[in-house]
Structure 1
Amino acid sequence: MFRYNKISERAQNLLKILVSRYIREGQPIGSRTLSRDVNLDLSPATIRNVMADLEEMGLVCSPHTSAGRVPTVRGYRLFVDTLLQIKPLNNEEESHLRRQFIQEYDIQRLLEQTSSLLSEVTHLAGVVMLPRRDSKALRHVEFLSLSEKRVLVVLVFNEKEVENRIIYTSRSYTSAELQSTANYLNNAFIGKNIKAVRSDLLRELQETRENMDKMMQAVIEMADKAFDSDETMERDFVIAGQTNLMEVADLSNIEKLRDLFIAFSEKHDILHLLDQALKAQSMQIFIGEESGYEVLGDCSVITSPYTVNGGMIGVLGVIGPTRMPYERVIPIVDLTAKLLGSALNHC
């Protein structure tokens, strides 16, 4: 773990100016440029020495020989954690955000509106995780055979929420077996929480495994896989403004952009990252490689959870280049999460 207290105040100040200028200008920052900064009273030689120290600590690097320096992921992290001065939104910006949540929408439209709003205001990609539902009451279930060992599960939850899932079974089941299994679950567990259904059946499996007939074996396997409590299966997100990233010079590599758009389409990696952010229960900033996904290596992701009835049920945020204006984006994400939570409480 890197220890920030090892860096002198002078070096921290120099790093702060370098990162701020690089975010603003997008070009490597040289010692001569820094020596002309009005906030520094240091000779060019002293600046070169401090820059060399920062490079040795892995906080800045030179993209080309004899070029200026740019911040590394570690440099951005130090900047964001200890040097960044968050700028409060001005009255006009805050009023604009609040006005977008005055009208009443259905939940899906509200989430889509929010991701578009984040994109519009930040000029980055806005993403909103669909609310997690801790309570899903089973209303109806059907199983349809697709092919050998593949079954389509049609689940109806709560009032009219429908989900389709494909599961892979340990053996092939006949249509009659699947119908019998669905009948059993519909008769025995209607109105019960699906997590409770799954846990009850698995407990029954442990208690009566030896005397269990083929019918109950089928019921338990189907319930185990159809009601899998892996939360990533129950998640989705809406995203807007992906094309904004095509205009960012730092992300102009066509192959990297393609991989990023594929990740947005396939969703799994992004969902996993959003799920990590939700579990943290606070604003999270993933910079470059910190996300754990190569496809996001040149990106930063800023997220904040939104709360309904006192419980954190999702996160929203923005995805953009590591060279983003953090001091402006962070308060936008924070306020938007609060406004979305408030709006959902009234839906």
Structure 2
Amino acid sequence: MQLDARAQTLLKALVERYIADGQPVGSRALAKISGLDLSPATIRNIMSDLEEMGFVSSPHTSAGRVPTPRGYRIFVDTLLTVDTIDESALESRLQSRIHSGSSQKVIANAAQVLSSLSQFAGVVLTPRRESVFQQIEFLRLSERRVLLVIVAPNGDVQNRLLMSDVDYTPAQLVQAANFINLNYGGLSFHDVRLRLQHELRQLRDDMTPLMHAAVEVGSDAMADNSDEVVISGERNLLSVSDLSSNMSSLRKLFDLFEQKTSLLQLLDLSNRATGVQIFIGGESSLVPLEQMSIVTAPYEINGRVVGTLGVIGPTRMAYERVIPIVDITAKLLSNALSSATDKHYK
């Protein structure tokens, strides 16, 4: 719905003032902060129109007005002026924290960076583990216990314990691993399973159970996505009165972090979008609280989108500051993970 210039200016002023102090904004305050040369009566009429259109509402306890989810939406889509920040300064500040360690550590650091800079909760949807493996290794732990080590193409490592009826020697385990790596490295465990039954004749018969066990356990390991969402700074939201003002809100907030179902759906949805996305409570069932907003951006590995990161905070957040934080952190995480992948292949 189109708003004329005066209505846009007043709505922008109202949202910005409400974000700043959390109090309903009256016509007299709008007359001072909007910069418009309008009478109080004209401002009241425009605000009544905005309320009728669903962009603002009037709390029962005050004559002032507050933005609705619809009002926030038009604000962030068309009225918001994003802060101009020194990207190079912020990048140098974050680079050492994000460009360090394994990919899991880098992702955890990114969530912490988002939390510390926004003072809300930082969240990262991790890349789905690829079903293919680069190489495996068998390590003899004891008489019938073998450790299966699986290395993915992106360098991630999975360890799984195999229980065997046969006491394999270290030489036999090396032979089995070499066979798999030479013939199947770079394939999915599903493809390996289909081919093994025809090609295991090249190995001794007593190696067959070990190979099949490795394929079954390896397939489960690569499909295990139990840690898909990394969250940092949840406790920050407990100090946000908008989100923790009553037990119902608190319960929904903790459900979001404990069950993660709606959060996964939302992040997966934004995974298919381009650039920064803003999800506002009250607009979608994916955001469980009307007082909550989530600002997200996808991140890449070598040009391919693999996950999403973002900031979870109150609807009354400083979007102009949070948006560039999310945007730049996504770019830095993309660079860090792409660099780690390149080093792994060299």
TM-score, length of structure 1 as denominator length: 0.72
Map Cα deviations across residues 229-287 of structure 1 (whole Å, 9 max, x no partner).
9x995760111111111111211223312321222122222111110010124321100
* Secondary structure at the counterpart of residue 47 of structure 2: helix
Are the counterparts in 2 of residues 115 and 240 from structure 1 also a CA contact under 8 Å?
A: yes
TM superposition shift of 1:133: 3.9
TM superposition shift of 1:123: 0.5
* Partner Cα separation in structure 2 for residue 240 and residue 26 of structure 1: 25
* Partner Cα separation in structure 2 for residue 195 and residue 78 of structure 1: 48
Tell me the equivalent position of 2:56: 60
* Partner Cα separation in structure 1 for residue 94 and residue 30 of structure 2: 39
Establish whether residue 75 from structure 1 lines up as the match of residue 71 from structure 2: yes
Tell me the equivalent position of 2:272: 279
Query: Comparing 26-35 with 276-285, which one deviates more in the overlay?
Result: 276-285
* Secondary structure at the counterpart of residue 280 of structure 1: coil
Query: Comparing 122-131 with 104-113, which one deviates more in the overlay?
Result: 104-113
Tell me the equivalent position of 2:35: 39
User: Which of 281, 293, 300 is the equivalent residue of 1:288?
Assistant: 281
* Partner Cα separation in structure 2 for residue 134 and residue 109 of structure 1: 18
Q: Which runs of 5+ in 2 are unaligned?
A: 137-147, 161-178, 196-211, 341-346
* Secondary structure at the counterpart of residue 128 of structure 1: strand
Residue type matched to 1:129 in 2? L
Tell me the equivalent position of 1:318: 311
Map Cα deviations across residues 318-345 of structure 1 (whole Å, 9 max, x no partner).
0000000000100010001001111112
TM superposition shift of 1:80: 0.4
Are the counterparts in 2 of residues 232 and 272 from structure 1 also a CA contact under 8 Å?
A: no
Are the counterparts in 2 of residues 35 and 47 from structure 1 also a CA contact under 8 Å?
A: yes
Tell me the equivalent position of 2:12: 16
* Partner Cα separation in structure 2 for residue 199 and residue 292 of structure 1: 41
Q: Which runs of 5+ in 1 are unaligned?
A: 141-153, 165-185, 202-218
Are the counterparts in 1 of residues 15 and 67 from structure 2 also a CA contact under 8 Å?
A: yes
Map Cα deviations across residues 60-110 of structure 1 (whole Å, 9 max, x no partner).
001215431100011000000000011111468625544434752111111
User: Which of 125, 129, 132 is the equivalent residue of 2:121?
Assistant: 125
Tell me the equivalent position of 2:80: 84
User: Which of 294, 310, 329 is the equivalent residue of 1:301?
Assistant: 294
Establish whether residue 238 from structure 1 lines up as the match of residue 233 from structure 2: no
* Secondary structure at the counterpart of residue 316 of structure 1: strand
Q: Residues 45 and 163 of structure 1: is their aligned pair in 2 closer, same or farther, counting only changes over 3 Å? A: farther
* Secondary structure at the counterpart of residue 58 of structure 1: coil
Query: Comparing 296-305 with 131-140, which one deviates more in the overlay?
Result: 131-140
Tell me the equivalent position of 1:344: 337
Residue type matched to 1:29 in 2? V
Are the counterparts in 2 of residues 136 and 157 from structure 1 also a CA contact under 8 Å?
A: no
Residue type matched to 2:330 in 1? A
Query: Comparing 96-105 with 259-268, which one deviates more in the overlay?
Result: 96-105
* Partner Cα separation in structure 1 for residue 91 and residue 99 of structure 2: 14
Residue type matched to 1:328 in 2? R
* Secondary structure at the counterpart of residue 12 of structure 1: helix
> What is the 5 A alignment of 1:224-235?
none
Q: Residues 132 and 55 of structure 1: is their aligned pair in 2 closer, same or farther, counting only changes over 3 Å? A: same
Q: Residues 135 and 233 of structure 1: is their aligned pair in 2 closer, same or farther, counting only changes over 3 Å? A: closer
% identity of equivalent residues: 46
Are the counterparts in 1 of residues 24 and 62 from structure 2 also a CA contact under 8 Å?
A: no
Are the counterparts in 1 of residues 270 and 308 from structure 2 also a CA contact under 8 Å?
A: yes
* Partner Cα separation in structure 2 for residue 116 and residue 319 of structure 1: 12
